[in-house]
Structure 1
Amino acid sequence: MTPSRPSRAAGWRHRVGPLVGAAALAGALALLGPQVGDGVTSVARFLAAVGLVLAVSHLLGLLFARLGQPPVVGEIAGGLLVGPSALGAAWPDGQRALFTPEVTDGLAMAAQLGVVTFMFLLGAELRLERVAGSERVVGLVVAGSIAVPFATGALMAWLWRDAFLPAGEPLPPYVLFFGIALSITALPVLARILLDSGTRTTGIGTVAIACAAIGDAVAWSALAVVLTLTDGGGAGAVPAKAATAVALVVATALCARPALAALDRLLRDRPKPEAVMLPVLVVGAVTWSALSEVVGLHPVIGAFLFGLAVPRDSALITAVGEQLQGFAVSVLLPLFFAGIGLKTAFGLFGGDVGMWWALLVLLLTATASKVVGAAGGALAAGWSAGDALTLGALMNCRGVTELVVVSIGLQHGLINEAAFTILVLVALLTTAATGPLVRGRVPKPHEVPV
């Protein structure tokens, strides 16, 4: 029996009904908000804010995916929309009523957990063994893709020190931080772009992933030194902080790594091993983050370090990582993007032509220095100009990783809100440009010398 087709009226209800319901709910909240605002509990506000952030971020993620962009670009844009620059400009009373200081603090705590999980997964995905056979090109590309953007970023920071350096803060850590911020390549977003294009396992894709991983490890190490100079009382504190950091690395290598490997072997043939490994990894990542904070480093550095300790090529670790990634990417990272959006104020620009000029110059400088540095290294290794430029465009992807870095810079007083806003936009725009720049240009595996 052939199922009957839904009537035209029923089809209309299915299409328009949800819109009418959503509009009615939004209208009721808008009308009731002024009367009941003072009676709404902080829990209700927090949950409403989380719901709004997740809805906006994922809707824009879907939209950007339809436009050929990584969903994370839309999710970052969604975080900016709920901040003062968009929602606050369109409906300032509603934005302030929902995102109260108490709610913002709660979102910041949840976002911190998201960043810790993200950095742990980033460390767990680092595969240095993939560099085997291409050490020369990877070394040259890493050197170029870090040195050129770092030098350029440091120069730009010095030139705009009056506009971007917080009052009373020392100049050297600020200049160093700016150079690091422009040197970042977002490994997870880059991997997603290559995966979506079916080129992650090609020669150029493998080299790009390896270079991004090693480059980011170098950048995080340099950032740890800068944070020590900033928060630890100057250069005299560096040896002590370095000693504690080395001790944490040694403890990770000699204790955490073999313990995790032994647990992986023990659980391999047990039923439901994820039920044990998942909490172990979460507790370990959070504990290492806390230890990192205690010794004077940022928590994300400890999470990244613990991620490096997990066994490679383990089916159990891979399965648990996918579970963690699903929750972190779907729930926690959008809250981090919202935290970025709440701190980003395009209103600081206003009619100040100098700020818009600074944004344009920094965007062009960040892109050119990254592409030239990475492509120059590939050319020196014997690649063709076309392949080298494609690799340079891939390395220009900054994504979530740079957002984490610039948020740390703002938190520690290394940059002011104007510099923070510009660097957030640079991260968003360079990430959005990566896909279109390399689409259709990544060659087959045998066409790239490694």
Structure 2
Amino acid sequence: MTAPGARWRLFPARGVEAGRGAGARRRGGRLPRAVVALVAVAALVALTPRLVAGTGDGTGPGGLDPLARFLLAAAVVVFVCHACGALLRRFHQPAVVGEVLGGIVLGPSVLGALWPNGTAALFTAEVRSALGLAAQLGLVTFMFLLGCELRLTGLAARRRTVAVVVTGAMGLTLVAGVVVALLGHRLIGGSAQRPVTVLFFGLALSITALPVLARILADLGLTRTPLGGLAISCAAAGDVVLWLGLTALLGVAGVGGSGAFAATAGAVAALLLVTVLWIRPALAALVRWAQRRPDATQLLLPVLVGGAIAYAAATQVVGLHPVLGAFVFGLAVPRDSAAVEHVNDRLRGFTMAVLLPLFFAGIGLATSVALLGGEPARWLFFAGVILAASGGKFLGAGVGARLAGLPRRDTLRLGVLLNCRGVTEIVVAAIGWQYHLVNDFGLTVLVLVALVTTAMTGPLMNVLGDPAPAPTERKPPDGRTPRPRTAAAPSGR
């Protein structure tokens, strides 16, 4: 019997009435919880094919409606990608490396090889199509944020140095990539004509990922040093050259669907004129108005997001990839505005947490490390691509830096930093794969190159030296790392 006034407790209180000390709780509390959690996870894994496909082998009639299938697949993608990202951060790698690996784990490279029935039941054709559409929305938002946060104001003071370094780093890597692509065209070539494929492949290798580079520089304490500022400026200028070159290549090839270069070029020119003459001033006026009224950010968010999506649709209609339109609209948004920064922070969280992992999953489902196979020619080609991508950046940036008068000790460091490709190369590789400029093997090679070159950046910089952070890089009293003003990065990607 329970004493009058006493309360019945599901979990006993601490102390004598619990009948256990702290050590007993550690022995009898945490261990059963871990066992129960493991049993629950094992049961969920075992029952997933039956829940998803209606049968234990994943081949029977569907047991879930399409919406439930999509939501379950999205939940798995978000969990696995972020778990892999957290794991890689423990090894001092950017989170994007782990998130991309998470997408590959869910694809035929790992999960498809170990559990093909479960993969087929979870990622049906209908689910993959829905994930692809959501991933495109994530790409559009990501490129809009990248355009918003791309700052070219620091280029004027060092324009000669930046021009020489970017020409050397991108030019030599482009040439090396074209040569390697010519030698292995039969391995990577899609349905497009050969010159377009090799030019695209060389352009894809010449990328430097500005967002993940900014994150690596912050981790190394180099953001406000001369070397860090130069690397950010070169990456920003290289981004502009990259997207201009990719736009021209897609327009000339007519791979977007229009098939008429003159019509596409005219439409793009008209869009740029409208952006410069009308849209940019209108956005500046709207932002100034929002700055005076704090509650106006509720209106600014749908205007910016809707504008980015509308621009993406416009470039898709004229025959170019939608991310190009979102990037252009982001460039038109005014900089250094607290209202815009507030909107971007709200948008960035959901994009990086949910939408971008869906894109990584789509890439992972199309990427198969098994495509390298046991054929020596494929492995030799992959090694040649790694050598061309890294050697072109090291040598091209180093020679350019020496011609610009930089100290010898900084030339190799600059090449290592500009060799970081991150998610930008994966986005470009996905565009080429979508338009059949490269096949599945070509996509796999480009994705692996992006992972390898991004993962080697931090360790190589540590090998070359551990520079002391600049005085301005000290953390404020709240302990947070100050955000770089030269180029902000969407969550280090």
TM-score bin, normalised by smaller chain:
over 0.9
Q: 1:392 is matched with which residue?
A: 415
Q: Is the 8 A contact 1:61 1:75 kept in 2?
A: yes
> Which of the numbers 213, 223, 231 marks the counterpart of 1:190?
213
1:84 aligns with 2:103: no
Q: Is the 8 A contact 1:285 1:303 kept in 2?
A: yes
Give the whole-Å Cα distance in 2 for the aligned partners of 1:25 and 1:93.
15
Q: 1:68 is matched with which residue?
A: 92
User: Could you tell me the percent identity over the aligned residues?
Assistant: 49
Counterpart of 1:224 in 2: which secondary structure?
Answer: helix
Query: 1:95 offset after TM fit, Å?
Result: 0.3
Give the whole-Å Cα distance in 1 for the aligned partners of 2:235 and 2:260.
30
Output aligned runs, 1:19-34, within 5 Å: 19-30=38-49, 34=55
Give the whole-Å Cα distance in 2 for the aligned partners of 1:164 and 1:367.
19
Output aligned runs, 1:267-416, within 5 Å: 267-416=290-439
> Which of the numbers 74, 77, 84 marks the counterpart of 1:50?
74
TM norm structure 1? 0.94
CA offsets, 1:368-391, max 9 Å, x none?
101211121111111122211111
Q: 2:265 is matched with which residue?
A: 242
Gaps of 5+ in 1: none
Q: Measured at CA, do residues 125 and 155 of structure 1 come closer, stay the same or move farther in structure 2, by a change above 3 Å? A: same
> Which of the numbers 222, 225, 233 marks the counterpart of 2:248?
225
Q: Is the 8 A contact 1:37 1:97 kept in 2?
A: no
> Which of the numbers 142, 151, 161 marks the counterpart of 1:127?
151
Give the whole-Å Cα distance in 1 for the aligned partners of 2:371 and 2:346.
40
Tell me the matched-pair count. Answer: 444
Query: Structure 1 stretch 294-303 or stretch 432-441: which is displaced more?
Result: 432-441
Query: 1:274 offset after TM fit, Å?
Result: 2.5
Q: Is the 8 A contact 1:204 1:443 kept in 2?
A: no
Bigger proportion of residues as helix: 1
> Which of the numbers 5, 23, 30 marks the counterpart of 1:11?
30
Query: 1:445 offset after TM fit, Å?
Result: 5.3
Structure 1 residue identity aligned to 2:55: P
Query: Structure 1 stretch 288-297 or stretch 190-199: which is displaced more?
Result: 190-199
CA offsets, 1:313-347, max 9 Å, x none?
11111121111111111111110000000111222
Query: 1:243 offset after TM fit, Å?
Result: 2.2
> Which of the numbers 164, 171, 190 marks the counterpart of 1:166?
190
Q: Measured at CA, do residues 274 and 18 of structure 1 come closer, stay the same or move farther in structure 2, by a change above 3 Å? A: farther
Give the whole-Å Cα distance in 2 for the aligned partners of 1:128 and 1:177.
25
Query: 1:135 offset after TM fit, Å?
Result: 1.6
Query: 1:76 offset after TM fit, Å?
Result: 0.5
Give the whole-Å Cα distance in 2 for the aligned partners of 1:105 and 1:420.
19
Structure 1 residue identity aligned to 2:370: G
Query: 1:166 offset after TM fit, Å?
Result: 2.3
Gaps of 5+ in 2: 1-13, 16-21, 472-493
CA offsets, 1:59-112, max 9 Å, x none?
110010010001110000000000011110000011011111100000000000
Q: Is the 8 A contact 1:79 1:341 kept in 2?
A: yes
TM norm structure 2? 0.86
The higher radius of gyration belongs to 2
Counterpart of 2:223 in 1: which secondary structure?
Answer: coil
Give the whole-Å Cα distance in 1 for the aligned partners of 2:43 and 2:193.
53
Q: Is the 8 A contact 1:367 1:396 kept in 2?
A: yes
Q: Is the 8 A contact 2:49 2:121 kept in 1?
A: no
Q: Is the 8 A contact 1:228 1:234 kept in 2?
A: no
Give the whole-Å Cα distance in 2 for the aligned partners of 1:242 and 1:193.
37
